Amino acid sequence: MNRKPHHLASDAPDTPAVSGRTGPGLPLLVPGSRCVVLAPMEDVSDSPFRQMCREQGADVVYTEFISSEAIIRDSDASKHKMAFEESERPLGIQIFGGREEAMHGAAKIAEANNPDLVDINFGCPVYKVVKKNAGSACLRDIGMMERMAGTVVDATSLPVTVKTRLGWDDKTIRIREVALMLQSVGVKALTVHARTRSQGYKGEARWEYFKYLKDTPGLHIPVIANGDITTPEHARHLFEESGVDGVMIGRAAIGNPWIFRDIHHYLDTGELLPAPTIEERMQMCARQLQASVAHHGERYGVIMMKKHYGNYIKGIRNGKYLRMEIMEKEQMEDILELLLNFREEPETRIAV
């Protein structure tokens, strides 16, 4: 298949009914459920954004990854990252770390926050994480990964899931072995980003490995595909060609929470929904900004939204001028005025 190598402050507007997959329960743990999941993304997957994505049909959402060391130190930042609204369920708290004792303690503290799942990050490729033997560092030592996963499973009564990569590099792709090992220690579902750690986010995700993994003899836990899933067609292709049990959407959801609605509709009907209108995009962006400020406070809430504006405005005539002016503003009301009064006029530029 051809593809390219990516409490609310106001009432929610009326939106089309989304598939019943988003009702109570944990579709992520059900083989063949075709769930569509929001990925954990640092400084992106906060509570306001998760709320938008659940509203638009995400079956399960995850917090951004949280350091086990910060959790056991009871840091304010880690407690804030674990906070969520009931409307976000089903929700998983994702933790990472390089020490078994810290991961054990963090899992217990995460459970005390009453999420639906605890997830372990064995996939982050960033050096500052890897140098602490966390994230994808465990792909160099499968024994350490086994001990770490077992420690978390033993620490909590909640279902434990894992997100990882194909391997450390092309010479160490042992994803079948890893999947069977994780299943054996009690992990209930596995998400795989179809790149190695050495790839980072470069090149195309290697989707061919999903079928290879699903065909593993003796593997029964659900497999969730991640990496370069940016359209409803991509999702259907992976379900039909590889037999994965779910797909996880990351960067393609930034500024586009409708992608979850669109994928479900396409899977159910074979039809592509029209893109949201400019007015709908501005209204959703405004609602997320309001929720961000309510959750984080004005200063940080405004800052957190800066990663989202570009995609909300992408492709809109004169949008770059709108984005430039928004990025200069520090007060929510000033940004709301720009968003809600914006009109796409052919020859009109916003003064900057």
Q: What is the mean pLDDT of each run of 10 residues along the chain (352 residues)?
A: 36 38 67 96 97 98 97 97 97 97 98 98 92 92 96 98 96 97 98 95 94 98 98 98 98 97 98 96 97 97 95 91 94 96 60 34
- With b for 16 or more beta-carbon neighbours within 10 A and e for fewer, the 178-198 pattern comes to bbebbbebebbbbbbbbbbbb
Contact 305, 292 (CB under 8 A): yes
Give me the pLDDT at residue 6, please.
27
Burial class (CB in 10 A: 0-12, 13-18, 19+), 106: buried
Contact 122, 145 (CB under 8 A): yes
**Strands 160-165 and 117-122: what pairing?**
parallel
The CATH T-level fold of domain 278-341 is 1.10.1200
Give me the pLDDT at residue 265, please.
98
**Residue length of the chain:** 352
Question: What pTM does this model have?
Answer: 0.90
Which among 109, 105, 135 is positioned nearest to 120, based on CA atoms?
135
Give me the pLDDT at residue 217, please.
98
Q: Which CATH superfamily, name and number, covers 30-269? A: Aldolase class I (3.20.20.70)
Give me the pLDDT at residue 351, please.
38
Give me the pLDDT at residue 344, please.
67
Contact 39, 250 (CB under 8 A): yes
Which among 261, 163, 210, 203 is positioned nearest to 6, based on CA atoms?
203
User: 3-class SS at 2?
Assistant: coil
Segment (H or E) for 176: helix 175-185
**Residues 19, 15: Cα–Cα separation, whole Å:** 12
Active site residues: 124
Every domain of the chain with CATH number 1.10.1200 lies at 278-341
Every domain of the chain with CATH number 3.20.20.70 lies at 30-269
Beta-bridge mates of residue 224: 191, 246
